[in-house]
Amino acid sequence: MQRRKEKLANDIVLEILRSQGLETPLLQRRLLAAWDTTVGATIARYTGEKFIKNQTLMVKITNPALRADMNMIRTELKDKLNHAIGAQVISEIKFY
């Protein structure tokens, strides 16, 4: 009698997502959803449009002073966002 390798449901779902090319878009959506909780309510209030293009998170900050402050901590923020979803999705953040 042969013994089958058991797989976790999570692993099976990830295999299906990878084979269909849907893993990266899913991770990107999770990262965008994690923005408000990662930066906090005060900063989220001044956040406009945000999207990911070529592994760069583009975020519109409506307050110029806050935009300058965010530029100083963008590397730390990038690491926090990637850590929040458990994958290396973005390599850079740009504020406009």
What is the average pLDDT across 59-75? 97
pLDDT higher than 70, residue 17: yes
Using the predicted structure, report yes or no on whether residue 4 has a pLDDT greater than 80.
no
Q: Look at residue 14 in the predicted model and tell me its pLDDT.
A: 76
- Cβ-count burial of 90 within 10 angstroms (0-12 exposed, 13-18 middle, 19+ buried)? buried
Q: State the pTM of this model.
A: 0.81
Q: What percent of the chain has pLDDT over 70?
A: 99
Q: Convert the pLDDT of each residue in 22-44 to its tens digit.
A: 889 999 999 999 999 999 999 99
Phi, psi dihedrals of residue 89, rounded to the nearest 5°: -100, -40
* Separation between Cα atoms, residue 62 and residue 18, nearest integer Å: 36
Mean local confidence (pLDDT), 72-92: 97
Cβ atoms 20, 80 nearer than 8 A: no
In angstroms, rounded to a whole number, what is the distance separating the alpha carbons of residues 27 and 87? 8
pLDDT at 1: 60
